[in-house]
Chains A and B, each alone.
Chain A
């Protein structure tokens, strides 16, 4: 029999902050194009010579390492939906946050977004806020 209580309030914790350096991350050409697209209210992907479309766009097509062409993608749908009830430190949120992945028909990849309203998995969605994090709702 376990004699452990399993209750977080009975445990001793040591909390602190680790010293970490700032970092710089380059989003690359395709990443830049994608971010610019979001500012314009558009989703960009790349279309490769094989006919496959990738979103977010990549610098090179994985099949043949050639540069693809940017294409605009429309009509996203909600593929996955989940609910977040705690923040990253385990504190309960006042109101759960809905998070999902949107995808496009005939395109590989997806984008993680916040979901508002009663959109369900499989529903067509529209972007409510073109800023990070993207917020979508039922179309």
Chain B
């Protein structure tokens, strides 16, 4: 009989595109990739344009502001605890695109009030990233997107 405990170590990589993106956050930069053929900008970045089936052509820096595209208030935490104060998150459209549902954007927390989510007045509001003082190259380097 052979008894063994497997040493199941893992090393999960953010990959070529998202490693650059996360390291960019350390310097308060939101970086995306661009496809020169269809002009689509990818945030979070991709190394491959999924519309043109070709590699993307380079990096662009985007402003750390945008408009709220969707928002949701959750009374359930990450660890499934009930929350008194809701966590508000949503998608932020980083800059204008002619196509409503295809845009460079981020899914992040939004610093706003529950009432503004309930009456949906937050949708379309202009927001700006609130950066942490100490940044490590993580999506958590941004505290939230706050209304301006």
Question: What 1/0 mask marks residues of chain B from 121 to 142 whose CB sits below 8 Å from any chain A CB?
Answer: 0000000000000000100000
Q: CB distance A25 to B4 under 8 Å?
A: yes
- Chain A binding surface SS class: loop
A23 to B4, CA, bound (A): 6
Which residues from A are CB-within-8-Å of B10? 15-18
Task: Give chain B's interface secondary structure class.
Answer: mixed
A23 to chain B, nearest CB (A): 6
Interface of A with B (CB < 8 Å)?
1-6, 10-27, 89
A129 CA to B10 CA, complexed, in Å: 33
A23–B47 Cα distance when bound, in Å, is: 41
Q: Across the interface, do B137 and A27 meet the contact criterion of CB distance under 8 Å? A: no
B33 CB contacts on chain A under 8 angstroms: 3
Contacts A22-B4, A24-B2; is A11 near B13 (CB within 8 Å)?
yes
Q: B143 contacts which chain A residues (CB < 8 A)?
A: none
* Nearest CB of chain B from residue A20's CB, rounded to whole Å: 5
Bound CA span A25–B1, Å: 6
Among residues of A, the one whose C-beta sits closest to the C-beta of B5 is A22
A16 touches B16 (CB 8 A): no
A-B contact pairs, 18 of them (CB 8 A): A3-B55, A3-B58, A11-B14, A12-B23, A12-B137, A13-B11, A15-B9, A16-B10, A17-B7, A18-B10, A20-B6, A20-B8, A21-B5, A22-B5, A23-B3, A25-B1, A26-B1, A27-B1
